[in-house]
Amino acid sequence: MRKITMLTDLLEANDVIAMENRKVFDRNRILALNLMSSPGAGKTTVLEKTIDKLGKRFHFAVIEGDVATSNDAKRLAKYKIPVVQITTETFGGACHLDANMVQRAMQKIDLSKVDILFIENIGNLICPAEFDLGEHKKVIVLSLTEGEDKPSKYPVVFRNSDLLLVNKMDLWSYLGINLNLLLRNTKKINPKLPIIKLSAKTEEGFKSWLEWLRKQYQKKSGS
Ligand code: MG
Ligand code: ZN
């Protein structure tokens, strides 16, 4: 009984901080996106390509979540944008980011100079979906190498998200993955979820993703 109460309290406390974060983003006219995926699905590579393509048009910042190491933050630092690494090792090795960690990280960024903030969550398809960070949209990156049944196995993250990026499309011909089955499985869980197939390596499908991003930003900033 007590355990259940504690979990509810924890999520409620998280939601209060998430709401504060969202207010700060809105005040600064920032579009904040929460990027989720399994380990190795290519979130960081998608970010690298995105910043590379749109870096002249938007001021980006990244909050990078990992259990340990700052390898991904180092990869993004070459774009000369604000990157703050959160390693959850110091928070007991949590397998997800929460609103409190994001709030602390935000304080290290000059938010008045940011248009789009990416929050790269810990590679994990389970609990990241449960924690509101104050973002405006949740984006899942699913690599084609993960098979067709991920949406059926991890429904919550697919149900709660606003966009699915199916990454590593360049590997399709080698993998023998049934793409239609993957899309059908996704539709069963969340019929309204927009899906963009892309390859961060060959840039196939990237136009649609960048277009989605621009549209979200326009909606947010009214410009
Ligand atoms: Mg990464
Ligand atoms: Zn977790």
Whether 71 contacts 45, CB under 8 Å? no
Check whether 102 has a pLDDT greater than 80: yes
| CB under 5 Å of ion ligand 1: residues | 43-44, 72
Q: 129 CA to middle of ligand 2, Å?
A: 9
Please report which ligand is nearest the Cα atom of 127.
Answer: 2
Q: 95 CA to middle of ligand 2, Å?
A: 4
pLDDT bucket at 140, cuts 50 / 70 / 90: very high
Q: Which residues contact 62 (CB under 8 A, 6 or more apart)?
A: 47, 73, 76, 81, 82, 83, 84, 117, 118, 119, 120
Of residues 117 and 4, the one with the higher pLDDT is: 117
Q: 69 CA to middle of ligand 1, Å?
A: 11
Q: 67 CA to middle of ligand 1, Å?
A: 11
What's the chain look like in SS3? Answer: CHHHHHHHHHHHHHHHHHHHHHHHHHHCCCEEEEEEECCCCCHHHHHHHHHHHHCCCCCEEEEEEECCCCHHHHHHHCCCCCEEEEEHHHHCCCCCCCHHHHHHHHCCCCHHHCCEEEEECCCCCCHHHHCCCCCCEEEEEEEHHHCCCHHHHCHHHHHCCCEEEEECHHHHHHHCCCHHHHHHHHHHHCCCCCEEECCCCCCCCHHHHHHHHHHHHHHHHCC
| Mean pLDDT confidence for 146-169 | 96
What percent of the chain clears pLDDT 90, i.e. is strictly above it? 87
Architecture of domain 2-221: 3-Layer(aba) Sandwich (3.40)
Q: 128 CA to middle of ligand 2, Å?
A: 6
Average pLDDT of every residue of the chain: 94
